[in-house]
Amino acid sequence: MGKPKKKGTYEHFCVLVFAQGTWNEKDRDAIRKPLIDRHNMKSDKPYHLYNKLTRQDEKPSYCDCNICGPIYEMFKEIQGKNYGILYQGHHYIIPEDDMNDMKEFANSILSNNKVKKLYILYLDGFGEIDRTTIKTWQLKDIMEYIKVNKIKLTEFEHIINEKQFVNRTLYEIYKTY
């Protein structure tokens, strides 16, 4: 009897802050500084949402993850030539701990007049799929498992309040549209 196949891969928490117009370094800092301050705040939650914001300026090239590269490419394609900040990392969401922080985070980011919209994506790790299959995936394969939901901030807040946030959904969140 051979070894059982490993299922799935790492969880991924990804956020793209999409700029309104052009940005300079001061504009970027106005977004990043409050997030860093929240990250550094003492919390009763040792792994709170703000600890899960891993900034990515380059395509990830670490570990044996076959999801990071295609997801990075997807967000860079979405961003195009626009300014923005991408956070992407191997982080899991804890619904009872992270949802209120996620709502606060979205409000904070979208209250900045230099931000047009926000993308949030959580991938649960594809636990039902063998890693050998995942290793062959391209972005198109991953996209078969991702639903896109274009919504206003008030609708996103409702989703959080009603405990309807789902993984494998790319939330495209606008102040209004």
Whether 127 is covered by a domain: the verdict is yes
How high is the mean pLDDT of the chain?
Answer: 89
Domain that holds residue 77: 19-174
Share of the chain above pLDDT 70, in %: 93
Whether 59 is covered by a domain: the verdict is yes
Residue 57: which pLDDT band, with cuts at 50, 70 and 90? confident
Residue 1: which pLDDT band, with cuts at 50, 70 and 90? very low
Are 30 and 114 a contacting pair, CB within 8 Å?
yes
Determine the angle formed by the axes of helices 95-110 and 25-40, rounding to 10 degrees: 150
Whether 144 is covered by a domain: the verdict is yes
Report how many domains make up the chain. Answer: 1
Whether 7 is covered by a domain: the verdict is no
Are 108 and 157 a contacting pair, CB within 8 Å?
no
Mean pLDDT on 122-131: 89
pTM for this model (two decimals): 0.91
